Structure 1
């Protein structure tokens, strides 16, 4: 992922500079009922996305915002890059700065997808989109999809600080104001509950694997090995360990200014579990508990979140 840094940083810098000149109410636009940042996405880009042609070798990392996609994306790219270096017959476009693209599928200009056709396999692509809003070719061609989920209380907490740190997103004067927006789905990326519910429908697909943020935090070595096996990557124990060591949250945060520019400290703030306890009051705890029970407790991904373990005081 380190090789994507110039495009990543340049696009974010331009988006934030443009957002600094905009009124709060103009920072987001709605597409298919879901809000997106105006300076990073566009209706024209979403229209062009419909014709994107996925490959069976593609790796798609899908997760709701602030579920850890930048962190797990580092792991994915390190695994794919290492595997490509093992195979002299496999070219790795991650090393070609002329062909690099911003890793989030829905972010960028409408011509992005034509340029992505020049990228060699295996392409690593991130997204915050619902499955029904992804190009049909991703499912038709059975690209590998890693679905990343995180408990809703920590997602909301992380998203609150993220919104207040990124000028491309509207800030909130109070946590209470943000909590109301989060619970009603009036957020960039839409409703967390819809996201988990919709991706649960694909949990049994042969080309889909689900991983939780919490289990990866508890045992990163196990998680890295599990991802490599899912992708069919043949790496030595030494290579796997190198990926594990290079993808700790602490290691990524330490080099975040170099890899992510001025937003490094915003993207990699704490990276922990249970930070929600610093913000949630009792009424908010009860509201979240009730909504989770009603919306997600009986879904497949809802069960994997282990709500009783991570979201109860």
Structure 2
């Protein structure tokens, strides 16, 4: 095992230990205590803090960082796995992986990341407005993954109820009420998407969708390779694809995500929203999409009419 592999394994084990302690702490907290607000947006209080967010504003990005940004439950772990495998195939060694989201943990984590070798693989759920300015100043390439709002909402509902550090909901209807009003972790789906709509012409941002990745992963992976300048052979890409299927990731999830494996890897399907949405709720999301995203390029990429009608 190489030095970078050993370091990543040690970081992963440390992360799992920290998560165990966090889960134990969460057992004695109320749903409201599990939330915190920063600049008007709700975040998980056991994972985020005001001190960390303030330190994050001063984060020193690098031009060769690999940054993945998604709204929760829009393909985060999938895209991390893909980029991880691509970088491994390219360099024949483990890349530096920032375990957990960039905004999670204590402020000193950024000093630790500062010492890590490039390329650093970093993921986050933060909005465009709260993304550290240095990423844009350094012209770091950012991969943004979108997912249709109805599937994202249903996946988010199951995730929050299966993740002990997040507040649980006694019913889908209660969760939907918070989702549509933007009173969930990371705020309104629609506001979040509008933030990236403003940056869609930035040549350093690649926007893909969960649905297109499910339809033809090989084509979307080629786009990622072209974007980051990752030159892989067809054989190498096939290896990446094999290790990045939902089945493959779920089988290894107890190693990668410990006791929270089932929360992170449930179905990974398109159209699961139909199992929970009422017709009235569906129309409410339709109205929000029409109000905020219809006619935008982000809205066009989401392909709402194909994936969000009964």
Q: 2:276 aligns with which of 276, 279, 284?
A: 279
**CA–CA distance in structure 2, aligned partners of residues 186 and 176 of structure 1:** 14
CA contact 1:103–1:124 (8 Å) conserved in 2: no
Task: Name 1:43's counterpart in structure 2.
Answer: 50
Shift of 1:102: 2.1
Task: Name 1:13's counterpart in structure 2.
Answer: 20
Which runs of no fewer than 5 residues in structure 1 stay unpaired?
86-90, 95-99
The alignment's C-alpha RMSD in Å is 1.5
Aligned: 1:267 with 2:264 = yes
Q: 1:184 aligns with which of 181, 184, 208?
A: 181
Q: Where in structure 2 are the equivalents of 1:216-295 lying within 5 Å?
A: 216-295=213-292
Aligned: 1:84 with 2:91 = yes
Which runs of no fewer than 5 residues in structure 2 stay unpaired?
none
Shift of 1:9: 2.2
Task: Name 2:79's counterpart in structure 1.
Answer: 72
**CA–CA distance in structure 2, aligned partners of residues 30 and 127 of structure 1:** 17
SS of the residue corresponding to residue 24 of structure 1 reads coil
TM-score by length of 1: 0.94
**CA–CA distance in structure 2, aligned partners of residues 69 and 302 of structure 1:** 19
Shift of 1:308: 0.3
Count of aligned positions: 303
Q: 1:166 aligns with which of 163, 166, 171?
A: 163
Distance 1:285 1:93, change over 3 A: closer
Shift of 1:11: 3.1
TM-score by length of 2: 0.94
Question: How far does the alpha carbon of each residue in 1:189-237 deviate from its partner, in whole angstroms, 9 at most, with x for none?
Answer: 1110011110111111011000000000011111122111111011111
Shift of 1:44: 0.6
CA contact 2:69–2:76 (8 Å) conserved in 1: yes
Aligned: 1:106 with 2:77 = no
